[in-house]
Structure 1
Amino acid sequence: MSSGIRRISLGIDWLDYAMLGGVPRGNWLLITGEPGVGKSILTIQAAGANVNAMPVVYVSTETRFYDVVRQAKQFNIDLTDAVSLADVLTGRVKDVKTNLVVIDLFGLAREYRELLRASEEEGRTKAKSPLSMEVVMASIEKAYEILGISEEGRVTKDVLVIIDSLAPMWSHAPAMARLITYRLRQRLYRSNVTVIMTNQYAPTTGMTFGFGAEHIADAIIHMWIEEPEKKKEIERWLIIKKARLTNHYRKAMKFEIEPGKGLTLIEPGIDELRKWFNEYAGKQEPNEE
């Protein structure tokens, strides 16, 4: 799939069609939704689709390293070559030959002080927790080094960074969410770094936790479960709410999560999305929202 803009696949054919081939290179995609809707599975599918083509850094703030790898297997995605940043820092893994570093913040509980010390030496804000933004940033930059794509503070290759999820980074200070994520974007942003991040969405308030991520997103995919109390079943939907540098499909899409397959389209039919893609893929003018 191509429409004149370099894109990063989401690993889901129908969703790539809906974004004219995927996320534009260098964009920040935010995936919002309530627990259980499939946000993490979407990020795992994106990681699996890109790991052979480019370095991938997967930040897990809520799931352990081995659980990420095990969950991927349930959808026929092989991430067994991944290495844990904590294992590298402790010397349990010495010879790193991989395109995928998983930053399991549970596993960094003992090692984060070393990362903080490095940040402090560079004059950055002192952090108090392995879930803090400073530790996440220091961890990502350390992963760049391990992957061999960092040179004098520059990222030398295209890289996909996945953060699942953002919410724990400001759980200690929800009022600071916007500032924390703004600083995250300032420090991470590069034209060759594409970021996919998730955030919890509270059905009770109709808002994402902390109100702190939409302002840094170039694109937003919102996922939800349609009135389970009324429907008496789980009915999952998603819609692309906005996207910069690309046109996008504007209708809601119903999907299911299937073992061995991941996110599968229920409606509209895949033919409708292909037709939409073919109609707009040749148009050069991006839809900047």
Structure 2
Amino acid sequence: MNNTLNTLLIMEKRTEGKGEVRRSEDVEREAFGIDALDDALEGGLPRGTWTVVTGEPGVGKSILCMHFAYTGLEDDEPVIYVTTETSFRDVVRQARQFNMDLTQFKPVNLSDVLSGRVKPENAKLVVIDLFGLYRQYREMVKEAGEEGRRPSRALSIEVLEGAVRKAYEVLGFSEGKVSEPSRLIIDSMTAFWADKPAMARAYSYALRQSLYRSNITALLVSQYAPTTEASFGFGLEHIADGIIHMWMDKVEQTKTIRRWLIIKKMRLTNHAKDAYQVDIQPGKGLILIEANETQ
């Protein structure tokens, strides 16, 4: 039996009746830096996997992304941070409220790289925001010329793939080979199929096939509609190794804001099965509380 198959077959198991956990030392993990969540995931996301965070606006998905990025950077892991719903400047401002200073890692904006204003050396944090995607779109249109295939718009899967590939180059990832653990964050994926939600599954498969690397752990955000509790585009979850779902109790009934998080799926992991209440605290970020502690 080869080592890879053996690793899959000896995954962590609970000993019935004793509550003990046998952990597989062969599964490397990427922590969030949120103690309760990392414990629930037996240390973090399995390295090289793709995890989707789903939920309606306001439940804390973007803050979860900030934790994942900041913890990776503190561990000296390169991070590619894609933000489509706000500028990275706003991400930095919000992260500071939770005692996460992303500027100390000297972020390199892909837009500045493409324009030639910056020649990055030893970059650890590469940022792709709306401005970077638009410049990547213009570069791809220029390269296509009059007869080549052009991307339909800046917020398209083709442009996203091109931008992340360029970020791989900035970080020194050659020919798809990654020399060190790295993290890819895309907040959010919904923007890329808002006009064609039926294409979400096809786009998702194409994206993973293009960008997957064994040492890059991806965290992708998918928006849910508060009215229908359904995702904007169906299919991203099908390419995911893990699904973390976040939601909010109906405020009309509770008369207060109560946020929740549950791990619905995580490959290579004997994860916690119960929901956690989520508290967002200044200076700390997301705090998870076990459901039985809130009663």
Alignment pair present for 1:29 and 2:45: no
- Give the Cα separation in 2 of the matches to 1:125 and 1:268: 52
| CA-atom RMSD in angstroms | 2.2
Name the residue aligned to 2:235.
Answer: 212
Alignment pair present for 1:175 and 2:198: yes
Matches within 5 A, 1:1-289: 4-52=26-74, 53-80=76-103, 81-116=106-141, 126-148=150-172, 150-268=173-291
TM-score when normalising by structure 2: 0.84
Contact 2:42 2:270 in 1 (8 A): yes
Counterpart secondary structure, 2:277? strand
Which structure 1 segments of 5+ residues have no match?
271-289
Contact 2:31 2:45 in 1 (8 A): yes
Name the residue aligned to 1:283.
Answer: none
The Cα shift of 1:76 comes to 0.8
The Cα shift of 1:268 comes to 4.2
- Give the Cα separation in 2 of the matches to 1:141 and 1:243: 26
Counterpart secondary structure, 2:51? strand
The Cα shift of 1:72 comes to 1.3
Larger Rg: 2
TM-score when normalising by structure 1: 0.86
Name the residue aligned to 2:11.
Answer: none
Contact 2:55 2:61 in 1 (8 A): yes
Contact 2:81 2:127 in 1 (8 A): yes
Counterpart secondary structure, 2:134? coil
Which has the larger displacement, 255-264 or 125-134?
Answer: 125-134
Counterpart secondary structure, 2:263? strand
Name the residue aligned to 1:275.
Answer: none
Deviation digits for residues 152-210 of structure 1, max 9, x if unmatched?
Answer: 34334322100100001111211111111110011112211211001001232221111
Deviation digits for residues 52-91 of structure 1, max 9, x if unmatched?
Answer: 3211101111110211111111111111111111122123
Contact 2:140 2:150 in 1 (8 A): no
- Give the Cα separation in 1 of the matches to 2:116 and 2:78: 21
Deviation digits for residues 37-60 of structure 1, max 9, x if unmatched?
Answer: 000000011000001321110111
Contact 1:167 1:200 in 2 (8 A): yes
| Cα pair distance change 1:138/1:2, threshold 3 Å | same
- Give the Cα separation in 2 of the matches to 1:74 and 1:116: 39
The Cα shift of 1:16 comes to 0.4
Identity, % of aligned positions? 55
| Cα pair distance change 1:191/1:111, threshold 3 Å | closer
- Give the Cα separation in 1 of the matches to 2:34 and 2:141: 37
| Cα pair distance change 1:95/1:178, threshold 3 Å | closer
- Give the Cα separation in 2 of the matches to 1:82 and 1:132: 24
The Cα shift of 1:134 comes to 0.8
- Give the Cα separation in 1 of the matches to 2:120 and 2:48: 30
- Give the Cα separation in 2 of the matches to 1:3 and 1:67: 39
Letter in 2 for 1:36: G
Which structure 2 segments of 5+ residues have no match?
1-22
- Give the Cα separation in 1 of the matches to 2:50 and 2:40: 17
Contact 2:83 2:188 in 1 (8 A): yes
Contact 1:3 1:21 in 2 (8 A): no
